[in-house]
Amino acid sequence: MPTTSKAKPHIVILGAGLGGTTAAFEIQHAVGERASIQVISDSGHFSFVPSNPWVALRWREPEAIQVEWRPIFDRKHIGFLSTGAKRVLPDQNKIELKDGNIVDYDYLVIATGPDLAFDEIKGLGPHGGFSVSVCQTAHAALAADAFDRLVADPGPVIIGAAQGASCFGPAYEFAMMIDTELRRRKVRDRVPMMFVTPEPYIGHLGLDGVGDTKSLLESEFRNRHIKWITNARTTSLEEGIMHVEEVAFDGTIAATHALPFYFSMMLPAFRGIPAIFGIEGLTNPRGFVLVDQHQRSKAFANVFALGVCVAIPPMGPTPVPVGVPKTGFMIESMVTAIVQNLVALLDNRPPTAQATWNALCLADFGDGGVAFIAQPQIPPRNLSWSSQGRWVHLAKVIFERYFLRKIRRGETEPFYERLALKAIGLNKLKSK
């Protein structure tokens, strides 16, 4: 399959977020001197995305959750470019960079995360729209300024997700965290809160629930005086007003709402980034990479993909489109499978490793939180476990410190696998 005559195969990892970073370290650990490894990112630093909601409430400074790449990759002898890809050319085994240069590869691992589809809803998002975002650390820093304005001049808040969104955990987290922070600032009594989501019920999470996340999160919302609208299709935003349609199960519009807000954070739908969008055979109509059970492109046998950029069909039909989340545990298992499959290919063996695609999520509320594990992610499951308590907030802080330390040191370790096994073990002990 390698098309170049270089002595060493060249493995390129495109994207240096949570998935690409883990993949780069793990691949280097597994293949050592047998291949040259290069990471191509569109930025010079790593951002720990799960901590973005904390940045938006000034519980973290942006710099505290970012790590400069160059010294780490230099130390690990991993090539690094921060130019960003303009277009992947998989039929030529090349990547065109944004500066016009071309990079050749023998094997490509695509880990480019999401393109944020704010433009699909008029007035949505931080680029000229009326809502803030926590999807990127720079967005979260802007959201912190908007939050300061809310505290100075309290009024209605809307948190939620747009139709087609797939990442609901951070929306629930952020709603609860805002409630916690506004109570701390003693202005919560002047802030009516509303949660707007395309999910058919609270706690669906794109996973048709995990354990009893429905009761758990509904009860949490009731305790915190947060109202909600489910099956919601957000049609547009203007200054201070969000227009929402509530869709019935037969697809008709059951109600329309013009919701006032002073502050709103709505997660957008995701799609594939422009560098891979619309490449025939590589991506689906939303620009997500189509992979087989070995995380390998169905059309290009030397291309693998992991993380948010992978195409996963929705859990089932819902009145309003709801995507499936791709979280850390699942991403880690995709990395493990790709590493084993690359080693197999270098050994001239067929790839056989498969990702497990489980979900483990810690949703922090600032003063507590909810944790859940879904094994496998798609029901019916062998394990559906959810739990809540103050320990979740602490666990998330520990997780952040652990992960950033791991990145700074360039270490490899299947963290989620260990944590999940521990949690399952504790759960079994508790139920005896």
Which residues are near ligand FAD by CB under 6 A?
A: 14-20, 40-43, 49-50, 52-53, 84-85, 111-113, 134-135, 167, 169-170, 273, 275, 307-308, 327-328, 331, 361-362
Q: Which CB atom, from 41 or from 388, has the smaller least distance to ligand FAD? A: 41
Helix, coil or strand: residue 212 = coil
Q: What's the helix, strand, coil split of the chain in %, to 5?
A: 35, 25, 40
- Shortest Å distance, C-beta 270 to ligand FAD: 9
Q: Which is nearer to ligand FAD, 177 or 237 (CB)?
A: 177
Question: Residue 108 or residue 345: which is nearer to ligand FAD going by CB?
Answer: 108
Contact 51, 129 (CB under 8 A): no
151 and 187 Cβ atoms separated by less than 8 Å? yes
Residue with token string 């016009």: 100
- Please give the Cα distance from 357 to 381 (Å, whole number): 12
Cβ-based nearer residue to ligand FAD, 129 or 328:
328
| Residue carrying the six token digits 């929402």 | 244
Nearest residue to ligand FAD, by Cβ distance, number only: 17
Q: Rounded to the nearest whole angstrom, what is the least distance from the CB of residue 379 to ligand FAD in the complex? A: 19
Task: Between 40 and 182, name the residue whose CB sits nearer to ligand FAD.
Answer: 40
Q: How far is the CB of 304 from ligand FAD (least distance, A)?
A: 13
**Which letter does DSSP use for residue 40 in this model?**
E
Minimum distance of ligand FAD from residue 19's CB (angstroms): 3
Residues designated as active site: 167, 361
For ligand FAD, the closer CB: 10 or 154 = 10
Q: How far is the CB of 20 from ligand FAD (least distance, A)?
A: 5
d(CA 125, CA 127): 6
C-alpha span between 398 and 376 (Å, rounded)? 25
How many C-beta atoms lie closer than 10 Å to residue 298's C-beta? 13
* Of 13 and 191, CB closest to ligand FAD: 13
In the complex, the smallest distance separating the C-beta of residue 135 from ligand FAD, rounded to whole angstroms, is: 4
Q: Residue 42: how many CA atoms within 13 Å on its side-chain side?
A: 16
To which residue do tokens 């509904």 refer? 218
Alpha carbon of residue 337 to chain centroid: 19
Q: For residues 216 and 203, give the distance between their C-alpha atoms in angstroms, rounded to a whole number.
A: 8
For residue 195, what is the DSSP state? E
The structure tokens listed for 367 are: 């003063």
Residue 167 Cβ, how far from ligand FAD at the closest point, in Å? 5
Question: For residue 145, with 0-12 CB atoms within 10 Å meaning exposed, 13-18 middle and 19 or more buried, which class applies?
Answer: exposed
CA–CA distance from 264 to each of 60, 73, 159, 267 (Å)?
A: 20, 38, 6, 10
Are 423 and 385 in contact by the 8 Å Cβ rule? The answer is yes
